[in-house]
Structure 1
Amino acid sequence: MHAGAGSGLLETLAPVLALPACAGGYLLLAHRARRRNAARAWSAWRTASFITGLALLAVALLPPVAPLAHSDFRGHMAQHMLIGMYAPLALVLGASMTLLLRTLPAPRARLLSALLHSRAARLLTHPAVALLLSTGGLALLYFTPLYTTTVSHPAGHWLLHAHFLLSGCLFAHAIAGPDPAPARPGVPARLVYLGCAIAAHAVISQLMYGGFWVDIHAPIPEVQGGAEIMYYGGDIAELLLAAALVATWRPDRRPRPVKASPSQPFARA
């Protein structure tokens, strides 16, 4: 399960260099947004959420969690929870696309808006697709030889991290993201997709704990411990996602047309 010393150095240096750069870029854009429109300053809560997401990624990708993830399946699962569920929710609530739209020059903002409204973006950000990529990928990872293959190669390990992070961000965005999402269905439908994710996580973790169909080359106590982390940690993350859905939900306040009754044939909407 060890990826080698070179991989360990890379996994230490990459987040040390990339995460502060991401934080600096976000803070710079937030400062520009405040300068452009002082009356509508960028939310400090959004900024704090994005920085928290980066901090969670740092915890997952740096010692002591990163070395433990190579040697103990429980460490791998804790890392997976941070990269694939907790950090994505915090990053998505930072509304980075909205911040970009506010700070980019008008032509580039229109181009980004057109990209977000494209057919490919609508398909990719639909909750059904995001659920398949995030939760469906777990079954493929742990019930096939894919897990052993990815952790045995440095490139595969980084691709696994990228998949966890991007699919987690897609699902959090599809369910409760504050950024524009033209294909996002209503709140009842999103609650159904969230319920499906909760059920799928529970089933996968229980099958893993019982040793049914899993293809994980690790001691049984480690696999069972990882299953418990997935079960309870996933529940907490999904409750936070549900809370974010409620917090970001904006009911439709448009007045409904008044139907004319037989006694009032000329009633106006």
Structure 2
Amino acid sequence: MPAHGPHAGHDAPAWGPDALVPLVLAVVAAVAYVTATRAYHRGRLRPWRPARTAAWLTGCALVAAAFSPVLVVVPGDASRHMVQHLLLGMLGPLALALAAPVTLLLGVASPATRRAVGRVLRARPVHVLAHPVTAAVLHVGGMAALYLTPLYALTTRSAGAHAFVHAHFLLAGYLFAWALAGPDPAPRRPGTATRVAVLVVTGGAHAALAKLLYAHADRLPPGGVHTVAEVEAAAQWMYYGGDVAEVLLAVAVLAGWYRSRARRERRVPGPLSSAPAPAGARSP
């Protein structure tokens, strides 16, 4: 798999416009989020959850790392590209989704903005787009299109196609993580069983794509110029790194289910509190 963009063929990535722009955007996003948490604290007289702030900062750092020279520690352009895919399309989006940015926005925005966001969340196209099945198709389908079609070769020649693929990975990965495990409001989100089933099927599809890439490393992706050994190494990064990301996502899904169940149990009175007092008993 050839390296993307102007640094294709170099042994080590270097800082350039294609790396600096994502870095600047990540820093801006981090600063904006932290600023919003302070406004939330002032307006609600209680602090925003530090774990969510940490998740957002982690997500921004992972996205920035996907474009940075730090990937020089990964040998080979093909493997570096695959690690970039894991950071940008799976690990980074999961951390960003767990930060609940929509909830934070609703907590600090004006009433008019909150109503507008509510209308968007209730819109039927958003329900369809944010359904776990739709999100999974966009998530895995984008990977399949990149590695099984001439799209990959196109991204090595076109900066626009290159940027589009990166944007798709980030947005589709975020949508998938939000649909399955995001703590933000998601009207008509399916139950936990459905989301776990979608995650299992998606994980299987991701693993199958990695195995296909490994088995046909001599001719995949179409137009690739790397050796068989280099593509096989990249496929292994995809397979095992994908497993790590999917386990983390499964933990997030089940943790959300556990918290939701605990909240429901706190709201429902227990059998002792709801039972009538015995005759003649005095109130404490």
Global fold match (TM > 0.5): yes
Structure 2: which 5+ runs fail to align? Answer: 8-13, 269-284
Shift of 1:67: 11
From 187, 201, 208, the equivalent of 1:203 is 208
- Please list every run of at least 4 consecutive aligned residues from structure 1 whose deviation after the TM superposition is greater than 2 angstroms: 1-5, 64-69, 212-216, 251-255
Matched, 1:219 2:227: yes
- Contact conserved, 1:46 with 1:93, CA < 8 A, in 2? yes
Partner Cα distance (1:152, 1:66) in 2: 22
Partner Cα distance (1:105, 1:179) in 2: 18
Residue 54 of structure 2 aligns with an amino acid whose one-letter code is: A
Select between 178-187 and 206-215 the one with higher mean Cα deviation: 206-215
Match of 1:53 in 2: 59
From 166, 174, 182, the equivalent of 2:187 is 182
Match of 1:13 in 2: 20
Match of 1:30 in 2: 37
Matched, 1:239 2:239: no
Match of 1:118 in 2: 123
Deviations 1:131-186 (A, max 9, x none): 00001221111111111111222111111110110000000001100001113100
- Contact conserved, 1:60 with 1:66, CA < 8 A, in 2? no
Select between 8-17 and 154-163 the one with higher mean Cα deviation: 8-17
In structure 2, the CA distance between the partners of 1:68 and 1:234, relative to structure 1 (3 Å rule), is closer
Partner Cα distance (2:80, 2:197) in 1: 31
Shift of 1:215: 2.8
Shift of 1:17: 1.8
Match of 2:68 in 1: 62
From 41, 46, 51, the equivalent of 2:47 is 41
Match of 1:265 in 2: none
- Contact conserved, 1:84 with 1:165, CA < 8 A, in 2? yes
Partner Cα distance (2:68, 2:43) in 1: 37
RMSD over aligned Cα atoms: 2.2
Counterpart secondary structure, 1:223: helix
Shift of 1:116: 1.1
Partner Cα distance (1:120, 1:228) in 2: 37
In structure 2, the CA distance between the partners of 1:42 and 1:204, relative to structure 1 (3 Å rule), is same
From 57, 79, 83, the equivalent of 2:88 is 83
Select between 215-224 and 44-53 the one with higher mean Cα deviation: 215-224
Match of 2:147 in 1: 142
TM-score (norm 1): 0.88
Residue 38 of structure 2 aligns with an amino acid whose one-letter code is: H
Query: Percent identity at matched positions?
Result: 40
Counterpart secondary structure, 1:191: helix
Partner Cα distance (1:188, 1:21) in 2: 37
Shift of 1:247: 1.4
Matched, 1:127 2:135: no
Residue 120 of structure 2 aligns with an amino acid whose one-letter code is: L
TM-score (norm 2): 0.84
Structure 1: which 5+ runs fail to align? Answer: 256-269
Counterpart secondary structure, 1:4: helix
- Contact conserved, 1:123 with 1:183, CA < 8 A, in 2? no
- Contact conserved, 1:53 with 1:88, CA < 8 A, in 2? yes
Partner Cα distance (2:33, 2:72) in 1: 25
Residue 5 of structure 2 aligns with an amino acid whose one-letter code is: A
Shift of 1:15: 2.1
Deviations 1:62-98 (A, max 9, x none): 11428989x7111110100000000000000000000
Total equivalences in the alignment: 253
Partner Cα distance (1:195, 1:15) in 2: 31
